[in-house]
C-alpha cells in the first residue's frame, strides 16, 4: 500500500527533479504526523479575578439604567447564559470574548465566580467570535458597531479571508455581518478613520453618519479643521457640504478657509418657510389656480404693497 501511495505521489512531483530528492520528499510526506486536533470547547466556572477584558474591544460598559436591570436579573435568576472566554497564552487567566457587561454586573454584586464556555482559539478567531456574539445587541452605538466591524475585517484579513486592507467590493455581508448590507458595513468601517472628536459627535447623534463618512476621507489635519469650525459655530456640515469638502481635498484644494466658507453656507433646512393653508386663500384666487399660482399671486401682491408703501413714504418726505 505504501509503495502504491509513493508511486502516486511521484507523479505529482516535478519530473525534472532528482530521484533521490523525490524519494526523500515523499517519505517525509508519508511519515509526517497528522496535524494536532483542536481542543473542543469546555464548560467551566471561572473566578472573576482570572478574567480579563478582550484587548481593544469597542463596547462601552456603562453603569446606567440598563446595567441596573441586568444586576437585578442576575440577583434574581443568576447568570442564565454562560460567558465565552479563551485561555490567555502562558497564563492561568482568560480573555472575555462575550459577556463583558454580565461580568461587570456580577462583580458589582460581589459574585466571585461565573459560568463560562472556554474556547481554545487564537486571537483572530476570538475576534470574529467576539464581534458576532455582540453585534446582535440593539443598544450598540454607531461607533461601537463600526469599530467591531473593523476588528472583524482585520481578523479576516489576517486569516486570508478578506480581500485587502481596504473594504473592497468583494467584501460580502456573509463575511462581516448578518444584519447590515455590504454598503452599510463599508460606511460604518469608514467611520473608524475619523479623529476621536468626530467619532464622539457621531455617537452623540450630533453628526449624521452620511456626512461623517465623507469627512472620513479627509486627512487628520483637515478633519481637525472641521472640528475647530464646529467648536466655533456649533454648526455641523450637511451631507452635500461634506461631499464638497471631500472633492476639494481630492483635488488638493481644501484648507481651513474653504472649510469655513463651505460650512457658512445656509443649508436648505435653515431657510425659514411660511406655510399657509390653501383653503384660506382659495376664495381670493382665480378659480383654476394651482398652489404654485397662489404662491406667485401672494408674492406679487406683497411686492406691490411694498412698492406702494415706498411711494407713500416718498410723497410724505416731499
Please check whether residue 151 is in contact with residue 161, taking contact to mean a CB–CB distance below 8 angstroms.
Answer: no
In a domain, 226, yes or no: yes
Question: Three-state SS string across 159-182, please?
Answer: CCCCCCCCCCCCCCHHHHCCCCCH
Asked if residue 17 and residue 54 are part of one domain, the reply reads no
Q: What is the mean pLDDT of the chain?
A: 82
Please check whether residue 217 is in contact with residue 161, taking contact to mean a CB–CB distance below 8 angstroms.
Answer: no
DSSP 3-state percent helix, strand, coil across the chain (nearest 5): 55, 10, 35
Asked if residue 97 and residue 50 are part of one domain, the reply reads yes
Is it the case that residue 24 has pLDDT exceeding 60? no
In a domain, 213, yes or no: yes
For residues 286-314, give the mean pLDDT: 83
CA dihedral (114, 119, 121, 124) positive or negative: negative
For residues 266-271, give the mean pLDDT: 60
Chosen domain end from 242, 264, 286: 264
The pLDDT tens digits of the residues spanning 187-211 come to 999 999 999 999 999 999 999 999 9
Chosen domain end from 218, 244, 264: 264
Chosen domain end from 244, 264, 284: 264
Overall domain count for the chain: 3
Please check whether residue 84 is in contact with residue 99, taking contact to mean a CB–CB distance below 8 angstroms.
Answer: yes
Q: pLDDT category, 134, cuts 50, 70, 90?
A: confident
Please check whether residue 188 is in contact with residue 145, taking contact to mean a CB–CB distance below 8 angstroms.
Answer: yes
Is it the case that residue 173 has pLDDT exceeding 90? no
In a domain, 126, yes or no: no
Asked if residue 45 and residue 24 are part of one domain, the reply reads no
Q: pLDDT category, 167, cuts 50, 70, 90?
A: very low
Asked if residue 104 and residue 62 are part of one domain, the reply reads yes
Higher pLDDT, 248 or 176: 248
For residues 145-173, give the mean pLDDT: 69
- The domain of 82 spans 36-121
In a domain, 109, yes or no: yes
The pLDDT tens digits of the residues spanning 55-103 come to 889 888 888 898 999 999 999 998 889 999 999 999 999 999 999 999 9
C-alpha cell at 231: 467648536
Q: pLDDT category, 276, cuts 50, 70, 90?
A: confident
Higher pLDDT, 178 or 155: 155
Asked if residue 75 and residue 13 are part of one domain, the reply reads no
Asked if residue 100 and residue 42 are part of one domain, the reply reads yes
Q: How far apart are CA 98 and CA 126, in angstroms?
A: 10
Q: How far apart are CA 44 and CA 125, in angstroms?
A: 20
In a domain, 10, yes or no: yes
In this prediction, residue 27 carries a pLDDT of 55
Is it the case that residue 313 has pLDDT exceeding 90? no
Asked if residue 59 and residue 42 are part of one domain, the reply reads yes
Task: Determine which of 41-45, 164-168, 248-252, 256-260 has the lowest per-residue pLDDT on average.
Answer: 164-168
Is it the case that residue 273 has pLDDT exceeding 70? no
Residue written as grid cell 467576539:
130
- Helices 196-204 and 142-158: angle between axes, nearest 10 degrees: 130
Asked if residue 25 and residue 77 are part of one domain, the reply reads no
In a domain, 292, yes or no: no
Q: Phi/psi of residue 19, each to 5°? A: -60, -40
Q: How far apart are CA 215 and CA 250, in angstroms?
A: 12
Asked if residue 241 and residue 259 are part of one domain, the reply reads yes
In this prediction, residue 178 carries a pLDDT of 73
Q: pLDDT category, 18, cuts 50, 70, 90?
A: low
Asked if residue 254 and residue 239 are part of one domain, the reply reads yes
| Residue 138: C-alpha distances to residues 64, 77, 152 (Å) | 16, 23, 18
Asked if residue 257 and residue 209 are part of one domain, the reply reads yes
Asked if residue 60 and residue 115 are part of one domain, the reply reads yes
CATH for 114? 3.90.1530.10
In a domain, 246, yes or no: yes
Amino acid at each position: 500500500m505504501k509503495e502504491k501511495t509513493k508511486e502516486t505521489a511521484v507523479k505529482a512531483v516535478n519530473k525534472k527533479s532528482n530521484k533521490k530528492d523525490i524519494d526523500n520528499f515523499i517519505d517525509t510526506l508519508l511519515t509526517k504526523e497528522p496535524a494536532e486536533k483542536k481542543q473542543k470547547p469546555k464548560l467551566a466556572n471561572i473566578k472573576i479575578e482570572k478574567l480579563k477584558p478582550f484587548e481593544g474591544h469597542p463596547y462601552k460598559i456603562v453603569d446606567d439604567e440598563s446595567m441596573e436591570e441586568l444586576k437585578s436579573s442576575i440577583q434574581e435568576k443568576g447568570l442564565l447564559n454562560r460567558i465565552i472566554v479563551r485561555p490567555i497564552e502562558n497564563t492561568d487567566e482568560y480573555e472575555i470574548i462575550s459577556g463583558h457587561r454580565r461580568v461587570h454586573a456580577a462583580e458589582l454584586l460581589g459574585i466571585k465566580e461565573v459560568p463560562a464556555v472556554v474556547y481554545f482559539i487564537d486571537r483572530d478567531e476570538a475576534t470574529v467570535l467576539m464581534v458576532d456574539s455582540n453585534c446582535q445587541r440593539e443598544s450598540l452605538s454607531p461607533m461601537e458597531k463600526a469599530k467591531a466591524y473593523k476588528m472583524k475585517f482585520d481578523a479576516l484579513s489576517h486569516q486570508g479571508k478578506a480581500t485587502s486592507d481596504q473594504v473592497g467590493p468583494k467584501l460580502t455581508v456573509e463575511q462581516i455581518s448578518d444584519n447590515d448590507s455590504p454598503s452599510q458595513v463599508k460606511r460604518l468601517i469608514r467611520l473608524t478613520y475619523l479623529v476621536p472628536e468626530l467619532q464622539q459627535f457621531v455617537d452623540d447623534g450630533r453628526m449624521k453618519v452620511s456626512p461623517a463618512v465623507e469627512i472620513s476621507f479627509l486627512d487628520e489635519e483637515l478633519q481637525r479643521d472641521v472640528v475647530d469650525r464646529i467648536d466655533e459655530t456649533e454648526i455641523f456640515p450637511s451631507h452635500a457640504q461634506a461631499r464638497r469638502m471631500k472633492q476639494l481635498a481630492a483635488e488638493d484644494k481644501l484648507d481651513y478657509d474653504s472649510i469655513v466658507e463651505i460650512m457658512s453656507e445656509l443649508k436648505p433646512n435653515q431657510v425659514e418657510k411660511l406655510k399657509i393653508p390653501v383653503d384660506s386663500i382659495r376664495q381670493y384666487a382665480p378659480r383654476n389656480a394651482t398652489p404654485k399660482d397662489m404662491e406667485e399671486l401672494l408674492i406679487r401682491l406683497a411686492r406691490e404693497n411694498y412698492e406702494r408703501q415706498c411711494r407713500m413714504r416718498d410723497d410724505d418726505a416731499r
